[in-house]
Structures are given as C-alpha cells and as structure tokens.
Amino acid sequence: MHVLVVGGAGYIGSHMVKLLVQRGFKVTVLDNLSAGYRDAVRGARFVLGDLFERDALEDLCREIRFDGVMHFASHIQVGESVREPAKYYRNNVFKTQNLLDVMVARRVRCFIFSSTAAIFGEPVRIPIDEEHPKQPINPYGRGKWMVEQMLEDYDTAYGLKSVSLRYFNAAGADPDGELGERHDPETHLIPLVLQAASGRRPYLTVFGNDYDTPDGTCIRDYIHVNDLCEAHLLALQRLWEGGNSAAYNLGNGNGFSVQEVIATARQVTGREIPVQYSARRPGDPARLVADSRRAQAELGWTPRYADLATIIAHAWRWETRDS
C-alpha cells in the first residue's frame, strides 16, 4: 500500500510518516516546506511541491497509484486566521479542493482529513461528541468545517471515501526523541511552557486567569501526537476494508487547566517555570474536552500515551535534544 502524506514534513505529518514507514507502508511526502522541515521526513520519498500546482499533483498521481491520501498541510493559527482570512481560505479550503479534485480524477478513493475541535466553536456541552453543533467562530474553524461538508458531498457525488479527524490539543513528541514540534512562531502551550523551563524564553505568559474554571485558567484536552497518528492509520485501514465515510473527535477525554499543565511540567522537568499573567487571548473557549468514544468503538482506537506527564516528558526530551 502506498500512502501520499501531504504536509508530511510538519509536526503531526512527520510523526505520521515515521509510523507508516515503521509499519511497512510505502510513503510519498508532498510538502512546500512553508512550515515543515526536510530533515523531519525519514524513510519516505520527498516531493517539494504545493497543492496549488494542480498539474504537478496530477502528474504525481499518474506516476504513482496511491492507495490513500492523508492531508496535514494547513495553516493552524486561529488569531492569524481572523487577521488574514484570505490566506486561510486559500490554503486550507481552496488547495484542499484541488487535492480532492485530483483524487477524483485519478480515482484515488481514500482520504484522511486533519480537522479540528475549532469546528464546534464555543461549546454548548462538555465533553464534545461528534453530534455537538458546529458553529465555528473564526476563519480557521469555518474553513475546516467547509472541507468536512465538501467531503460529504464528494462522497455522495463521486464516491470519495473520507475520515475527518477532529484533533483537540495535539501535543507531545516522538517517544524515540527523533521528531517533535518546531513551529515558528510557536503558539502552543506545552512547547512554550517547556521553552520557559529550559531558559529559551524568560517566562510563560498565561492568557487569562479569570475564566469560569476551578483555577481560572482554560481547560484543554491534550492528546499525544503518536496517538493521533495511530487513529489516522486505523481510519485509513477502515476505509480500505470498505468502511463508510465518517468523522471522529480525538482527545483523551480529560481536561487540564493551564495551571495544571505548568505544575506537571515543573514536576517532569524539575525546573522553575516563570509565569506572567495577561489578558485573555481573544477566541479561547474556557473548556474544550473531547468525547472520543465513537473513535474507540468504531476504529478500535485506544490512546497509548494518555498521561499528561508522559506527553510532557516526550516534549521535554525534544526541547532539550541539543543539551
């Protein structure tokens, strides 16, 4: 089986490539390196390219008969999506449609899509199951929800089978220490906490401690990047076995506050983590926790690294890799 991993040089994509190669799949990575790193792609063919270049994509799909496509190539910053919606709709929606159209033209039937908890907007109930209302509150979430809806229509009309995986907070790093999170700029909590622990940053800024939560800081459901990758593989295998298109929420089902993340990171690293408090970051819901029972029941998915200390320990190993 030969899998095309679009965005395979990025954070989650590179972990996915490693897992696929380990499990004996042939892998081709397509990445424009706008946010990825060539050296993060190991054991797979690397093609430098952009989904905008539809002809080149068709040529690639003519050369190789892919059995499935996984699509990780997205812009991921909510705040930026509000300031630059055109960038988000062009990259995350329009270019995804190019990919889907080429798949339809070349009769590649199985597609795994990186979706997000941001499609739900401000939650009306916790934990968030798949049927929770979809009311995204920013262009990032709206674009992802548009693609999910497009996928339903492409299945009905063209028979393209897909699984949309709605990540809650992707975190952690390769347990072997070879891969990790390298966003520039980094906006995610756990790497920033660990940069404050290692001294790469002077302190962590906590965005708001006046939320309606037990300690006043936001609660999130952190899910290990390798557990996300396992879910992708299970989802693709389900489609290969003739399964229907579906969407799954992926998290551990446990919420941790920003303060709890900092406290756990202090334990794991044994370091001081200087903290400053600032105003809330616009658009941050107080609490996001997944109900992932459907993924467990239908995909047989069980997170292996569900413990927050383990997630942070793997990320810490990556943060301190050169020291």
- Of residues 37, 88, 89, 140, which has the active-site annotation? 140
**Is 276 one of the binding residues for ligand UFG (CB under 6 A)?**
no
Give the whole-angstrom CA distance, residue 7 versus residue 161.
20
Decide if 116 contacts 71 (C-beta within 8 A).
no
CB nearer to ligand UFG: give 5 or 204.
204
The least distance separating ligand UFG from the CB of residue 13, rounded to whole angstroms, comes to: 14
CB nearer to ligand UFG: give 68 or 136.
136
Quick check: is 37 catalytic? no
**Is 37 one of the binding residues for ligand UFG (CB under 6 A)?**
no
User: Of these, 4, 147, 160, 206, which contacts ligand UFG (CB under 6 A)?
Assistant: 206
CB nearer to ligand UFG: give 61 or 311.
311
Decide if 151 contacts 97 (C-beta within 8 A).
no
The least distance separating ligand UFG from the CB of residue 121, rounded to whole angstroms, comes to: 9
User: Of these, 164, 169, 252, 259, which contacts ligand UFG (CB under 6 A)?
Assistant: 169
**Is 281 one of the binding residues for ligand UFG (CB under 6 A)?**
yes
Which parts of 72-101 interact with ligand UFG (CB under 6 A)? 76, 78
The least distance separating ligand UFG from the CB of residue 256, rounded to whole angstroms, comes to: 10
Closest CA to 115 of 147, 77, 86: 147
Q: Which two tokens stand for residue 95?
A: 């270019």
**Is 273 one of the binding residues for ligand UFG (CB under 6 A)?**
no
**Is 117 one of the binding residues for ligand UFG (CB under 6 A)?**
yes
The residues, ordered by sequence, that sit 6+ positions from 7 with a Cβ below 8 Å of its Cβ are 13, 30, 31, 36, 71, 72, 73, 74, 114
CB nearer to ligand UFG: give 66 or 140.
140
Classify 102 as helix, strand or coil: helix
Categorise residue 159: left if φ over 0, alpha if ψ from -120 to 50, beta otherwise: left
Residue 162 phi/psi, 5-degree rounding, is: -145, 155
**Is 294 one of the binding residues for ligand UFG (CB under 6 A)?**
no
Q: Which stretch, 48-56, 125-133, 186-194, 227-235, contacts ligand UFG (CB under 6 A)?
A: 186-194
Q: Which two tokens stand for residue 86?
A: 């055109």
Give the whole-angstrom CA distance, residue 4 versus residue 8.
9
Q: Which two tokens stand for residue 179?
A: 């891969």
**Is 224 one of the binding residues for ligand UFG (CB under 6 A)?**
no
CB nearer to ligand UFG: give 4 or 225.
225
Residue nearest to ligand UFG (CB): 218
User: Of these, 205, 244, 267, 302, which contacts ligand UFG (CB under 6 A)?
Assistant: 205
Q: Which stretch, 41-49, 147-155, 187-195, 241-249, contacts ligand UFG (CB under 6 A)?
A: 187-195
Site size for ligand UFG, by CB under 6 A? Answer: 20
**Is 6 one of the binding residues for ligand UFG (CB under 6 A)?**
no
Decide if 160 contacts 100 (C-beta within 8 A).
yes
Give the whole-angstrom CA distance, residue 264 versus residue 70.
33
Angle at the Cα of 73 from the Cα atoms of 8 and 229, rounded to 5 degrees: 55
> DSSP string spanning 85-142?
HHHHIIIIIIHHHHHHHHHHHHT--EEEEEEEGGGG-S-SSSSB-TTS-----SHHHH
The β-bridge partners of 163 are 112, 246
Which residues contact ligand UFG (rule: CB under 6 A)?
76, 78, 116-118, 140, 169, 187-189, 192, 204-207, 218, 220, 258, 281, 284
Q: Which residues are catalytic?
A: 140
